[in-house]
């Protein structure tokens, strides 16, 4: 009985595993301008556009990915082109009255770093406004930084899982870089 009690105490003291990303937490830049890739045939359906994804996780985690979005057909599912340059910022968010959303985040990954730009970057405070209501979502739309963001609906579950894995990988790398002694391999 004592063994069971000690085991329960050890398990209870462990941090809970991160919750998987829910597609309903993702918002994307509104009015994306899809264009054929340079050097591709005109009749080829593959299109891309720069875009920003905002992820407002239910547990208060926030992620922002500035990236190149791709799709094969006009109404096909949207994917992220990780072979092109992208930026990832992570942090936290909270909602106050009147639909105001406060975000504190910092840049943790940049494919092509700029000279003198520290990674991880300094904490940045941002403010967004939730507009309207949508079932199972934070809002029908979100505005902030002079940009409107709408729910990302056309995305495959496998793409959401890959996005979550990329974010977690870069978050672990940033944590290890910030505290190398704590993450050293024996």
DSSP secondary structure string, 45-98?
Answer: --EEEEEEEEEE-TTSEEEEEEEEEEESSTTSPPEE-TTS--EEEEEEEEE-GG
C-alpha distances in Å from residue 91, one per residue of 62, 106, 119: 5, 6, 14
Q: What is the pTM of this model?
A: 0.84
DSSP letter at 180 equals: T
Please tell me the predicted confidence (pLDDT) of residue 155.
92
Residue 41 has pLDDT above 80, yes or no: no
Say if residue 12's pLDDT is above 90.
no
Domain boundaries, the chain: 21-178
The two tokens of residue 108 are 């943790």
Q: Which helix H or strand E contains 174, and what residues bound it?
A: helix 157-178
Helix (H) or strand (E) holding 26: strand 26-29
Each residue of 127-149: pLDDT tens digit?
A: 999 999 999 999 999 999 899 99
């Amino acid at each position: 009985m004592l063994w069971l009690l000690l085991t329960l105490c050890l398990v209870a003291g462990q941090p809970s595993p991160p919750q998987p990303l829910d597609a309903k937490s993702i918002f994307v830049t509104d009015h994306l301008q899809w264009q054929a890739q340079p050097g591709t045939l005109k009749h080829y359906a593959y299109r891309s556009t720069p875009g920003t994804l905002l992820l407002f996780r239910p547990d208060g985690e926030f992620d922002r990915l500035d990236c190149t979005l791709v799709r094969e057909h006009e109404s096909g599912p949207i994917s992220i082109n990780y072979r092109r340059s992208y930026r990832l910022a992570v942090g936290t968010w909270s909602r106050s009255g009147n639909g105001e959303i406060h975000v504190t985040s910092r840049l943790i990954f940049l494919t092509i770093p700029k000279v003198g730009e520290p990674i991880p970057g300094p904490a940045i405070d941002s403010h967004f406004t939730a507009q309207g209501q949508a079932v199972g979502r934070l809002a029908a739309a979100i505005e902030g930084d002079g940009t409107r963001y709408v729910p990302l609906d056309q995305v495959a579950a496998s793409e959401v899982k890959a996005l979550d894995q990329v974010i977690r990988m870069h978050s672990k790398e940033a944590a290890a870089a910030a505290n190398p002694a704590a993450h050293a391999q024996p």
